[in-house]
Amino acid sequence: SLAASPPMVLAGGFFVLILLGAALLLLPWSRVGPLSVGDALFTATSAVTVTGLGVVDTATHFTYLGQGILLLLIQLGGLGFMTFGVLVLLLLAGRVSFSHQFLVKESLNQTQLSDVMRLVRHLARFVLIAEGLGIVLLALCWVPQMGWHKGLWHALFYTISAFNNAGFALSSDSLSQYVDSGPVNLIITALFMTGGIGFAVVSELAQKRSYNRLSLHSRVMLLGTLMLALGGMALFLLIEWHNPATLGHLSTGGKLWAAWFQSVTARTAGFNTIDMSAMTPAAVMLFLLLMLIGAGPGSTASGIKVTTFAVLLAATRAFLLRRPQTKLLNRAVPAVSVFKALAVTLLSLMLIFLAVFVLAISDHDKPFLDLCFEVVSAFGTVGLTRGITPELSATGKAVIMVMMFLGRVGPLTLGFLLATPRVHRVRYAEEPVAIG
Amino acid sequence: SLAASPPMVLAGGFFVLILLGAALLLLPWSRVGPLSVGDALFTATSAVTVTGLGVVDTATHFTYLGQGILLLLIQLGGLGFMTFGVLVLLLLAGRVSFSHQFLVKESLNQTQLSDVMRLVRHLARFVLIAEGLGIVLLALCWVPQMGWHKGLWHALFYTISAFNNAGFALSSDSLSQYVDSGPVNLIITALFMTGGIGFAVVSELAQKRSYNRLSLHSRVMLLGTLMLALGGMALFLLIEWHNPATLGHLSTGGKLWAAWFQSVTARTAGFNTIDMSAMTPAAVMLFLLLMLIGAGPGSTASGIKVTTFAVLLAATRAFLLRRPQTKLLNRAVPAVSVFKALAVTLLSLMLIFLAVFVLAISDHDKPFLDLCFEVVSAFGTVGLTRGITPELSATGKAVIMVMMFLGRVGPLTLGFLLATPRVHRVRYAEEPVAIG
Ligand SMILES: [K+]
Ligand SMILES: [K+]
């Protein structure tokens, strides 16, 4: 049926794109030296799902053409997902409820499905403006330092990689050399946060220009992003302040920049300016949480999303205070949204558990915490790594590839499934069981 | 208000019992050599919450009087919880729904709250019969081997510890010396599975004597327990078959007994016949899952419960097949039960995450997987250990104590809170947010 097809179309499109991308990367003009089919598939999957996990070094294993192909895959994957996310929102709007429809109309200023083309044009303009600005600003930093040729290429590559939250970098230590550079920290984080918050929020913000008139969705995204960024930064500073391998050797200013960057990159971007494998277990746990949360629905981000996390916290509060309604920023979250938040989160956790379990067998020589890190990084399409992904067994790499794919396609598909229950003829008699 | 008090009464009662127990354990006649106040409190908490985690060795640090005090705390904690669980079920029956009321009436054959005393008498008779049988059967194994004096004491101690799923043992390697002893394996597992499946199920089974006429609750408990036991056994055999430190050195018969025992003990009993710290990471993950699941509601078990786990799986299936109803054994689970299952599980996971996070800071020298193991073991009041609990910092031990207490008292309290929403005057306007 037509109702079932959109997520299948998305998954199928991504799958074809990955195969095509891998074939292009295997061309002799794309690569420097040999590249196995498995590594090409892994790299293409990582690019299309805008994850950034790698089994080979981007800068040394690919020619300019190869890097250009990666950029194309990243841009198509990121843009495809954003467009699709917006279309699903529109599609859901037509079939879910008046209030949901109202949300979409309000935030996108669209009245019906025939406006799709106008919407896609809006989206394209948004991407062009953001990426154009990014290229110009980064070029201002890097051209004086690297010269026109290399400076512009770096500006282009990092802008596309950052705006699409892909996390691909042109050096093996990501952006570590800019750990205390204010301009680079600001431009890169601004790019990936804009790409990650969701087009609906940006669009509504551009129209209303006032926080108080925004929809609940946009207000939760903005406030939630701010609180997660500052909370993550504060916790990271507390945990890693004296760790000589991460923050310890930096000046106070450098510590603040590094904590800011690491706090916001963890929720899907995937660049890093400090060594992930040198972090303490507590910091790794903080990262697991942030990577699981991710950024905004209908954006280049994966994970359960900031809104889902906010609803979970609000619902917990409502349970403990025994309130009949889940309250969030002076609005009540509908019971169906609370249910969806719980379901999405638990299904994600089940999938992560299963993947780590398989890795604990196939790659039992690797530290357990590192296996958790790579799996959650893949599922949230974050791309941060404790350095073990290139050393994983073939089974292990396959698991990571599947998790990147499911992390990217899964939640949308799931949202779609949850929103459109199939009519079922057989009705069963209800009978309760005791819970907890 | 009266509605809020039952869980508070339970928590308060347990708290007083723990303080009293610690004071008694500190008496010079109870202990062999010195015992710190912290260790006495930890031991009393472990006994009252029927967990079995220890910071000192039961056999060598306590006199017969001290061990007798432990038995008393275990029996009061276990029985108190079972009684309370049944009372809450009854109480809920009066206020939740007709179908729930029907469930309780059906399974307990009670018609109203005034029958409480009769119910408690039934419960006491059940405990006496089960424990009497256990003592006689274990004495038949151990008196010929150890003599009357020691044999009878062991039979009494292990029966009470097993039936209440307390996991306290009289040797530091728990029941490892009986790893391939058929009779001991059978008697001990029968005792803790009977105590852990819940009085409601036992009571209904005694009356109806036919699986097909049982309530959905009892059928889910029986079938779920069987499948978890056999599934856990099969996975454990697969993972650990060649591990020389666990199953590798045993005969095939010994392997089967050990896998059976470990599979069923993990879901709350807490005895062990193989060395937990020698298991591979994959087996540890299997244990994390089993310990989190636990056994039956209204029993001596903690964890999210078998019914909750069954509802989670059934709900996942319903999501993926896009069915409007969550089907379980040809019955539909009410939406409110599905919601409760999701909420209980996620709240438990949040609590576990928080506890491991604190331990990752306070005890960062310990392996991460071991910290996860001890926290889940404490929260599920299981009592299995990777051997690090006695070596934890003061903060770490406090976290474990809090988790034992919350694991025991929490789910019931939570169930109570979820079942009785407080009437709230302010109603907020509903507005949806995008999820996932
Ligand atoms: K990424
Ligand atoms: K136990």
pLDDT at B196 over 70: yes
Radius of gyration, alpha carbons of chain A: 21
In a domain, A432, yes or no: no
Q: What is the mean pLDDT of chain B?
A: 84
Are the CB atoms for A21 and A423 separated by under 8 Å? no
Region B23-51: mean pLDDT is: 91
Please give the pLDDT value at position B330: 83
In a domain, B424, yes or no: no
Residue A20 CB burial class (10 angstroms; 0-12, 13-18, ≥19): middle
Q: Percent of chain A beyond pLDDT 90? A: 43
Mutate to test the interface with B, among A105, A408, A433 (most CBs of B within 10 A): A433
Least confident of A312-326, B147-161, B416-430: B416-430
Tell me how far the alpha carbon of residue A201 is from its chain's centroid.
16
**Six-digit token pair at A426?**
């057989």
**Six-digit token pair at A107?**
């935030």
Higher pLDDT, A63 or B435: A63
Which residues fall within 8 angstroms of residue B102, CB to CB, at 6 or more apart?
A: none
Contacts of A412 in chain B (CB under 8 A): 436
Domain tally, chain A: 1
Q: Percent of chain B beyond pLDDT 70? A: 84
Please name the residue that has the structure tokens 């896609």. Answer: A120
DSSP alpha helix (H) spans, A109-147:
116-146
Pairing type for strands B331-333 and A326-328 reads unpaired
Radius of gyration, alpha carbons of chain B: 21
Are the CB atoms for A52 and A383 separated by under 8 Å? yes
Region A312-340: mean pLDDT is: 83
Kindly state whether B16 is in contact with chain A, defined as any CB-CB distance less than 8 angstroms: no
Distance from CA of A34 to the nearest CA of B (A): 35
Higher pLDDT, A247 or A89: A247
Q: Tell me the C-alpha distance between B381 and B404, whole Å.
A: 6
Q: Give tens-digit pLDDT for A172-187.
A: 888 888 887 888 889 9
Please give the pLDDT value at position B234: 96
Mutate to test the interface with B, among A97, A104, A203, A431 (most CBs of B within 10 A): A431
Q: Give tens-digit pLDDT for A8-20.
A: 777 788 888 999 9
Neighbouring-strand partners of residue A333: A326
In a domain, B406, yes or no: yes
In a domain, B179, yes or no: yes
Cross-chain Cβ contact B281/A89 below 8 Å: no
Residue-range definition of the domain harbouring residue B276: 2-419
Q: Out of A349, A414, A433, whose CB is closest to B349?
A: A349
Q: Out of B324, B339, B364, whose CB is closest to A282?
A: B364
pLDDT at B5 over 80: no
Please give the pLDDT value at position A202: 84
CA-nearest residue of chain A to B322? A421
**Six-digit token pair at A30?**
């794309």
In a domain, B425, yes or no: no
Are the CB atoms for A307 and A224 separated by under 8 Å? yes
Q: Percent of chain B beyond pLDDT 90? A: 43
**Six-digit token pair at A321?**
């205070």
Among candidate residues B10, B6, B13, the one with its CA nearest the CA of residue B92: B6
Please name the residue that has the structure tokens 């400090």. Answer: A274
Which residues fall within 8 angstroms of residue B226, CB to CB, at 6 or more apart?
A: none
Among candidate residues B184, B145, B399, B390, the one with its CA nearest the CA of residue B273: B184
Q: Tell me the C-alpha distance between B1 and B154, whole Å.
A: 45
Which residues fall within 8 angstroms of residue A74, CB to CB, at 6 or more apart?
A: A47, A48, A50, A160, A161, A164, A166, A168
In a domain, A87, yes or no: yes
Q: Phi/psi of residue B240, each to 5°?
A: -105, 0
**Six-digit token pair at B138?**
């274990």
In a domain, B432, yes or no: no
Q: Tell me the C-alpha distance between A395 and A401, whole Å.
A: 10
Cross-chain Cβ contact A369/B364 below 8 Å: no
Neighbouring-strand partners of residue A331: A328
Are the CB atoms for B6 and B84 separated by under 8 Å? yes
Distance from CA of B429 to the nearest CA of A (A): 5
Neighbouring-strand partners of residue A332: A327, B430
Pairing type for strands B326-328 and B331-333 reads antiparallel
Please give the pLDDT value at position B372: 96
Among candidate residues B390, B315, B392, the one with its CA nearest the CA of residue B359: B392
CA-nearest residue of chain A to B354? A285
Are the CB atoms for B6 and B416 separated by under 8 Å? yes
Contacts of B330 in chain A (CB under 8 A): 428
In a domain, B431, yes or no: no
**Predicted confidence band at B171 (pLDDT cuts at 50, 70, 90)?**
confident
Q: Give tens-digit pLDDT for A209-264.
A: 788 888 888 888 999 999 999 999 999 999 999 999 999 999 999 999 999 999 99
Kindly state whether B20 is in contact with chain A, defined as any CB-CB distance less than 8 angstroms: no
Touching B: A residues 182-221, CB under 8 Å: 198, 200, 215-217, 220
Touching A: B residues 51-110, CB under 8 Å: 89, 97, 99-100, 103
Q: Out of A328, A360, A423, whose CB is closest to B281?
A: A360
Neighbours of ion ligand 2 (CB under 5 A): B 52, 165, 167, 270, 383
Please give the pLDDT value at position A414: 63
